[in-house]
Amino acid sequence: FSSPGNVIRYKNKWLMCVQTYPRPEGEKYGNGNSRIWLMESDDLENWSQAKLMYVKGLDVAKENMGRMIDPYLLRDKDNPDKIWCFYKQNGASMSYTYDLKKWTYFGNINSGENVCLLVENNKYILIHSPSNGIGFKKSKDLKTWEDLGVISLGQESWPWARGRLTAGFVLDCKQVQGIGKYLMFFHGTPEDESITFDTHASIGLVWSNDLFNWK
């Protein structure tokens, strides 16, 4: 298991979404059997065995679900009992559940990978990674999206990220004492990622007051 999207609190449990990324024949990237899974915890230290998320519906068999990676969990902004899962498949696909067992597929949007989301001013802000840089989109209903553009931060002056800057994850720490900002973690590679995928990766950290101006 790898690439945990995030951890959320739901009905007295901690939930963490993860992916499998099989490469049995030495494939450069996870093959068509890549799937997304859910783990639970009472204390953030001891985690349950991972359970497959049937995000296409219980009537779609595991082998027919298609390749999916990069899960991210989100509580609906208008209904706290409704949980969304975003994942990389045909752009960013999304499904929802009310019990963590029965999922309903909702649709997909044109997006890069490593999606994460925030709720700001009663709107969803989606952060994603296109071929290079960190992209932002905005929606009030998860159906219609406004593209807010792509940023590359200080990539042009960072040798460790000149090949690709990607995988941005934004954490809202505005209410955390001593921080009071958004934090973004991301990674960079010094040259073509297809060459250095297994050997070179650096983690970067930037911060912002407004999600669009970063230091």
What integer pLDDT is reported at residue 198 of this predicted model? Answer: 85
Strand-pair category, 83-88 with 36-41? unpaired
What pTM was computed for the model? 0.95
List, for residues 144-197, the tens digit of each pLDDT value: 999 999 999 999 999 999 999 999 999 999 999 999 999 999 999 999 887 888
What integer pLDDT is reported at residue 84 of this predicted model? Answer: 98
Q: Give the residues of the chain that fall short of pLDDT 50.
A: none
What integer pLDDT is reported at residue 19 of this predicted model? Answer: 98
Cα–Cα distance for residue pair 168/70, rounded to 1 Å? 12
Would you list the DSSP string of 3-68? ----EEEETTEEEEEEE----TT--SS--TT--EEEEEESSSSSBPPPEE--TT-TTS-GGGS---
Q: Residue for token digits 């945990």?
A: 4
Cα–Cα distance for residue pair 170/206, rounded to 1 Å? 9
For the record, the structure tokens of 48 come out as 């349950």
Mean pLDDT, the chain, whole residue set: 96
Q: Does residue 62 sit in helix, strand or coil?
A: helix
